[in-house]
Amino acid sequence: SANDALTGQQQTATYDSAFLKACRREPVPHTPVWFMRQAGRSLPEYRKVREGIAMLDSCMRPDLVTEITLQPVRRHGVDAAIYFSDIVVPLKAIGIDLDIKPGIGPVVENPIRSRADLEQLRALEPGDVSYVTEAIGMLTRELGTTPLIGFAGAPFTLASYLVEGGPSRNHERTKALMYGDPQLWADLLDRLADITAAFLKVQIEAGASAVQLFDSWVGALSPADYRRSVMPASVKVFDAVAGYGVPRIHFGVGTGELLGLMGEAGADVVGVDWRVPMDEAVRRVGPGKALQGNLDPAVLFAPREAVETKAREVLDAAAGLPGHVFNLGHGVLPDTDPEALTRLVEYVHTQTAR
């Protein structure tokens, strides 16, 4: 595998990085930091290399993926890189007719709403995403001892795009299918679980040292509906990659009421948005899990002192927790001043140096 190119020394140093130690709830030299959507429009160097290249095309070019993934690591000194891609890439790779429209998000040409539509979802083979294997091989060599996080969309969030045909505020068609045809819904999520698991395996086998399952929109559901209609598929994904021993992170927005169940689904690290303080999140998730979060990304638009006050609150609320990965409560907003992000990394590192 691509991993064979790495020296044993490099692999050991990556394993001993602050980020992976925090994920395993081991003592760390400082609280590790990375940002969801750290690669992207907040960076002028990103906008420059993406000029004239469509989002999905950029995801299929290992040279661009490598450069874009490295940009925030170079600039901000974050403790982990996240593989530059999108949650719809594996769907595109199996032939779903979709595009990412600038300023809108993923748009699906033929939404999935009937049993016949399910046939669009064939299994994902590693050869469908050979550019991912290639890019991760290049990346792990360039990253040295900085860990690389692979990721995928969780079955519910992928289903929401496929059923709605695009981004949705209320997920009404998705819920209509979930409540109206539970068997079709279960079959849809089960197929998506297999695709997602296969996609995560490709990334881990190519050299990713952790994976994050994004269930961004699952906060739209009640705990009972989550447990009945979504959790079995997410459990299937986490079980499929359990044997690799790499930390599994699980994140969604507005999931305060679901944090316990999302941990139970099989995560080693539970991502928390900014609506629940970290100390309360610890109570909701229960023992044995690391937590990731949770500064409101909009706070970065306030003056430096205010950012530091709010970051301090996050650190204090997470103090005493073995296993805190500092992050935002959702992705970096496109108009964020990149300098504010660099200063925040430095602040967390100096404040938590042990």
The catalytic residue positions are: 37, 41, 50, 86, 161
Taking the complex as a whole, the smallest distance from the CB of residue 82 to ligand CP3 amounts, in Å, to: 4
Cα 246 to chain centroid, rounded: 14
Burial class (CB in 10 A: 0-12, 13-18, 19+), 167: middle
Of 97, 91, 104, whose CA–CA distance to 199 is shortest? 91
Nearer to ligand CP3, 105 or 165 (CB): 105
Nearer to ligand CP3, 91 or 321 (CB): 91
Burial class (CB in 10 A: 0-12, 13-18, 19+), 333: middle
Nearer to ligand CP3, 82 or 344 (CB): 82
Per-residue tokens: 232? 């079995």
The alpha carbons of the chain give a radius of gyration, in whole angstroms, of: 19
List interacting residues with ligand CP3 (CB under 6 A): 36-41, 55, 82, 84, 86-87, 100, 102-106, 151, 214, 216, 331
Q: Which residue has the tokens 């992705």?
A: 331
Nearer to ligand CP3, 106 or 266 (CB): 106
Residue 216 labeled ligand binder? yes
- Enumerate residues 6+ apart whose C-beta is below 8 A from 173: 111, 113, 163, 164, 165
Question: For 332, left (φ over 0), alpha (ψ -120 to 50), or beta?
Answer: beta
Residue 312 labeled ligand binder? no
Is 208 in a helix, a strand, or coil?
coil
Alpha helices (runs of H) in the chain, residue ranges in sequence order: 8-15, 18-23, 44-50, 55-59, 62-76, 89-93, 130-143, 155-164, 172-180, 182-206, 223-229, 231-241, 259-264, 278-285, 304-318, 338-352
Nearest-CB residue for ligand CP3: 216
- Output phi, psi for 333, to 5 deg: -75, 145
Nearer to ligand CP3, 99 or 308 (CB): 99
Residue 41 labeled ligand binder? yes
Per-residue tokens: 330? 């959702």
Of 1, 27, 13, whose CA–CA distance to 323 is shortest? 27
Residue 337 labeled ligand binder? no
Nearer to ligand CP3, 219 or 260 (CB): 219
Per-residue tokens: 129? 């995403």
Residue 229 labeled ligand binder? no
- Enumerate residues 6+ apart whose C-beta is below 8 A from 211: 149, 150, 151, 152, 200, 203, 204, 241, 246, 247, 248, 249
Nearer to ligand CP3, 293 or 331 (CB): 331
CA–CA distance, 262 with 259 (Å, rounded to integer): 5
CA–CA distance, 40 with 68 (Å, rounded to integer): 8
Residues annotated within the binding site for substrate are: 37-41, 86, 161, 216, 330
